[in-house]
Structure 1
Amino acid sequence: MVAAFTASSSLRRPWQGALVLALMALAFALLTGLVDGGVGVAPQRLFDQPVYVLANALPGLLLAGALLAFTRRAMLSFGLAFAAEGTVYAVNQLKVANLGTPLIPADFQMVGQLNKGGTHLLGAYLPHSPWPYLAMLAVIVLVITLWRREPRLLPERPRAPRLLAGTALLIALVTLLAGTMPWARLYNGRTLWLEPWSATSTATHSGLLSSLLMYRLQYGHGARKPDQAAARELLSRADDNLRQQMATGAVASDGLPDIVVVQSESFFDPRILNGYQHAQITPNLDRLARHGVSGALHVPTFGGGTIRTEFEVLTGLSLRYFQDLQFPYLQLNAKVVPGLVRTLRSNGYETVAIHGNDPSFWNRTSAFKAIGFDRFVSQSAFPAGTANDGQYMADRGMTDEILTQLKDSGPPQFLFAISIEAHGPYDTMPADAAERDAMPVPAGITGKDKLELQNYLYHIHHADQELGRLADVLAKRERPTLLLFYGDHLPALTHTFQTAGFVDGGDMLNEPGTWLLVDPRMAAKPERTAVASWMLPGLLLQAAGIHDDSYFALTRLVGPELAPLTHAPDAPEPAPDADLARTDRDMASVSQLRLDGKLDALLPPDTRAIAHQADTPEHEPQADPHLGAGATH
């Protein structure tokens, strides 16, 4: 009846047809939001920021408009577009139900796997109830009915303008789905809500379709091709030094130390901030630094984006050379990612990741498997009753789990632990408010900024305490253990940093964090050196006596001069001299070839990395049923 009314009235009065189309488009947008469960059902979002609703519905509206131009049937066109959107939302619901995370653009690559055994694998996730299939059948019947019986809304002639408009809408849709950059003016974090580190939060606030388009537009463009000539030039210049670096013979696995790495959330030495030059908030860091190597750590992010630093440490690759990998765990789809973990595994290490949070956050479940971890002990595997301090798991619980996982016999172990207690926001109530209130605050920091700063200092004081406790236990072990401790980035205390300023007068986006490498059983001569996060694995392997990976040997050679170039994406770009710029350019190609698994082909046979069996999919470890969901002890 509605279709008959729209058809007859629009032909006599075009403005009535236009009004009906506008109402149908608005209804389509609202229905999209209703199915989405996010943007469309939030009244304040609809009235305060209607762009959220319209942006989320735009792909469907473009499809409906193009179909309308070609079929001239309004309800059929909007129905087909809504059915297409519904399919995406249904697949998303399946993924959320089974994996706990929404769709991201990389998931659509699974379509190409359907003819490679993927149909059987993915079919296992389909619902077993008959109702969804009956609903699909009803939709098909409805579409056929509309196609056969719905009157045309648009006149058949003039045909050319109608077909031209349909073609234009179709081109607009194709360019949008293809990620053509002009669309980024709408689909970005300034116009919509974008949290790159959380696909769930982005989809919840901006809508599923908007989140897919933003990830595609902002972070989905291809990498530049490496220049093999530039890579050869750098390797040639470094050849003699590479041979010296790798000259040391291999160490038997029973002589290798255990390695514990602690990535401490938002940790930095407060003494780089004005007002804290003489503070004693991190006494254990100071104590251990007197017997190890420590210093400033240049990282590729600020205030968030933990996985940027984490990726650099685990792979030895600088994200400076991968502009398309703003958030690598969400974008990398390789089954094998070369790096520290696989090099250690090839030397006989058991590799374990530990994190007291949801394993799907940051897509770590998939990423850690590709990086080469044997097991991932996540939140659900921690003992029942492990306490929070503030909003997140206390660092004490993480230290307890590290000590639980360490064994006194068997192969050498590599434990990579990711803390979370000091994660923002910093306005939540801690376990001990009196301890928090006792934290010193520089003059001029007041109100909310004061509260957030004190909460932050309270948590990193605990991180320092746990560093001391862990080191003291490791010092008493029979097996030697190397301990690497570092902060992933500075906290997002923007107003505090702007008010107090830094001792060196630097910009907060360029300010370095903190790192420490120590053997707790030895009283070594202290050493201070500034490095970048992507240099840490090379230094760690050197300290462990592992010299068989030429790429990490190269990072030790060129890293010191390139370290200051590592900074947060929005930080002012330093201006390197000509020689440094050449090394930087050449290292970019070397790094890209390394990630692609093509670097060793450019090396002379006697300076190549050893043929790591663990670097090939056919030599993957047996699947751990708890990988990503938390391994049992």
Structure 2
Amino acid sequence: MTLHSHIFQVVVAALALVCGGAALDALVHPRPRHGLRSVPGLVINAGVLLGVFGAILALCGNPLVACALSLGLGALFTVASNAKNTMLGEPLLFSDLALIGAVFRHPQFYLSAVAPWQRAVASLVALALVALLCLLFRADGVMHLAGLALALGAVGMLAILQGSPAFRAIAATPDPHGDVARHGLVPVLLLYWRRWRDTRDPPPCPASGRPARGDAPELVVVIQCESFADPADLFDDAALALPGLDAARGLAWQHGRLHVSGFGAYTMRTEYGVLFGREEAELGFRRFDPFLTAQGEGSWALPARLRPAGWDSAFLHPHDMRFYGRDRIMPAGGFARLVGETHFAPPAPDQGRYVTDAEMTDVILDTVQAASAPTLLYAVTIENHGPWAGEGQEELVPGYLRLVRNSDAMLARLADGLAALARQRGKPAALVFFGDHCPSIPGATTPAGKRHTPFVIMRFDDAGQPMRGDDTAADLTPAGLHHAILDMMLEPAR
């Protein structure tokens, strides 16, 4: 094969790839209102595709296979992004790619949320790509070198473009829907990753020197409840009201709606907000997965801020603490102890996939009973992660209602238990209970609907009697809830 023939094959495959890539990107939601994506977006999309094409060509030596594999990867990204956008109301983001390892370590968390046909399509495409690579491999030194040169050239072009003033002005602030519509999926993945990488840790949280309040509770239990929403509000049906939640609201120091940013997922966004107290506007591009960088922000976390005032702390979660890096983040945030999955009895065969809220309640009450110093206990539940029964909507909604009632029973038991403990010890206590996000139930809930979850703060005096606040109803962000907890425990800043 002559050099001219090699060049011709590479050029034809590259042109086909760029055109096919643009066609695939046109299928990604959200789409632009008029015409094509932006010119910078099309240029970046072409550059990334050519870089991938070159890398695969350098490995396999076959331009046809390299083109097919590159388009196949583009198709996988398109399917994944559209499925996520439908289910969670957000296109694929760079931070989702950081979870690929977690998908393999904990597949049950993710695969149960993807439709069977989508799993089947993804599996078939992946197998076809591997088969193509193996069957059509070609040992051709010129092609291998051409691929390497193309990959390096594409990477260099992208680096130069991203450093230019015109491209630095693109996607300068987080707006996933708007930016994908304007520029396309692949450009937003790359640009957002670059913006995220350039974001620096905040300076350490200033030491406030705030002592513990004289009327502060000596036991504070914070419950981050998986997929906990008020069914009466979520489904607009008063008959579905939760008795424990209603009773807690009636006796609360403060309660209201927690305005979480995620829908159906992204527990870590709410968890970060409540623990670290930084609003998403402060985080910039870190907002999409603040746990990726939270280890460098430990001084802002609740237990780190409470420790100088003499507070002990424990973090409870009945799952592998390596998930989302909690085994590193929570100690960096000041938690003295981690209570992980080995401390909880596994669910019985008829109790679902995850540790039950009833078991969580038992362990929490045992833990606070043993506390001898002022203690903050932060617990993350998992039972209501699902699955919520079968594939049909008529099974999913009743399944969700059954599990959310178990969470409601947990709220009622913890309120009674902390009131009794406050009375027994003659020392005040508090319970903070909130949902991390609304459930994504196909056909029943949508990302365009209600996203807020309930929160309730209950305080018990040294006789175990509920204490009512002056203004009990409120709307808070997760970071706002962090400061409400902090202000309940420490003296006001001077």
Q: With the length of structure 2 as denominator, give the TM-score of the two structures.
A: 0.60
1:167 deviation in Å? 6.7
Three-state SS of the structure 1 residue aligned to 2:270 is: helix
Q: Does 1:539 align with 2:454?
A: no
Distance between the aligned counterparts of 2:334 and 2:48, measured in 1? 37
Q: Does 1:380 align with 2:328?
A: no
Q: Does 1:480 align with 2:428?
A: yes
**Pick aligned residue for 1:410 from 372, 375, 388:** 372
Alignment of 1:63-212 (within 5 A): 63=55, 168-172=153-157, 174=159
1:270 deviation in Å? 1.9
What residue is the counterpart of 2:438 in the other structure? 490
Alignment of 1:374-453 (within 5 A): 374-383=336-345, 389-428=351-390, 448-453=392-397
Q: Does 1:340 align with 2:284?
A: no
1:419 deviation in Å? 0.9
The question of whether the paired residues in 2 share the 8 Å contact of 1:63 and 1:170 is answered with no
Letter in 1 for 2:473: R
Q: Does 1:285 align with 2:245?
A: yes
Alignment of 1:210-359 (within 5 A): 217-222=191-196, 250-251=212-213, 256-273=217-234, 275-277=236-238, 279=239, 281-292=241-252, 293-325=254-286, 326-334=288-296, 336-359=298-321
What residue is the counterpart of 2:449 in the other structure? 508
Alignment of 1:444-593 (within 5 A): 448-477=392-421, 478=425, 479-493=427-441, 495-497=443-445, 508-509=449-450, 511-520=451-460, 521-525=464-468, 527-544=472-489, 546-547=490-491, 550=493
1:540 deviation in Å? 1.8
Q: Which runs of 5+ in 2 are unaligned?
A: 14-45, 63-99, 108-138, 178-184
Distance between the aligned counterparts of 1:151 and 1:265, measured in 2? 55
Letter in 1 for 2:396: E
1:508 deviation in Å? 1.6
Q: How many pairs were matched up? A: 369
1:374 deviation in Å? 1.7
Distance between the aligned counterparts of 1:379 and 1:163, measured in 2? 47
Three-state SS of the structure 2 residue aligned to 1:322 is: helix
Q: Deviations over 1:387-415 (max 9, x none)?
A: 77323221112112212322445221111
**Pick aligned residue for 2:2 from 10, 13, 19:** 10
Distance between the aligned counterparts of 1:388 and 1:354, measured in 2? 24
Q: Deviations over 1:561-583 (max 9, x none)?
A: xxxxxxxxxxxxxxxxxxxxxxx
Shift in alpha-carbon separation, 1:364–1:248, aligned structure 2, 3 A: closer
Shift in alpha-carbon separation, 1:408–1:274, aligned structure 2, 3 A: closer
1:456 deviation in Å? 1.0
Shift in alpha-carbon separation, 1:270–1:154, aligned structure 2, 3 A: closer
The question of whether the paired residues in 1 share the 8 Å contact of 2:298 and 2:304 is answered with no
Shift in alpha-carbon separation, 1:397–1:176, aligned structure 2, 3 A: farther
State the Cα RMSD in Å. Answer: 5.1
The question of whether the paired residues in 1 share the 8 Å contact of 2:260 and 2:478 is answered with yes
Letter in 1 for 2:476: V
Q: Which runs of 5+ in 1 are unaligned?
A: 1-8, 24-53, 76-94, 103-145, 156-160, 191-209, 229-245, 430-447, 499-505, 551-606, 608-633
1:100 deviation in Å? 5.7
Distance between the aligned counterparts of 2:296 and 2:201, measured in 1? 17
The question of whether the paired residues in 2 share the 8 Å contact of 1:395 and 1:421 is answered with yes
Letter in 1 for 2:255: S
Q: Does 1:367 align with 2:329?
A: yes
1:175 deviation in Å? 6.6
Letter in 2 for 1:307: M
1:451 deviation in Å? 1.8
Distance between the aligned counterparts of 1:282 and 1:451, measured in 2? 20
Letter in 1 for 2:441: L
Letter in 2 for 1:171: G
The question of whether the paired residues in 2 share the 8 Å contact of 1:388 and 1:394 is answered with no
Q: With the length of structure 1 as denominator, give the TM-score of the two structures.
A: 0.48
What residue is the counterpart of 1:442 in the other structure? none
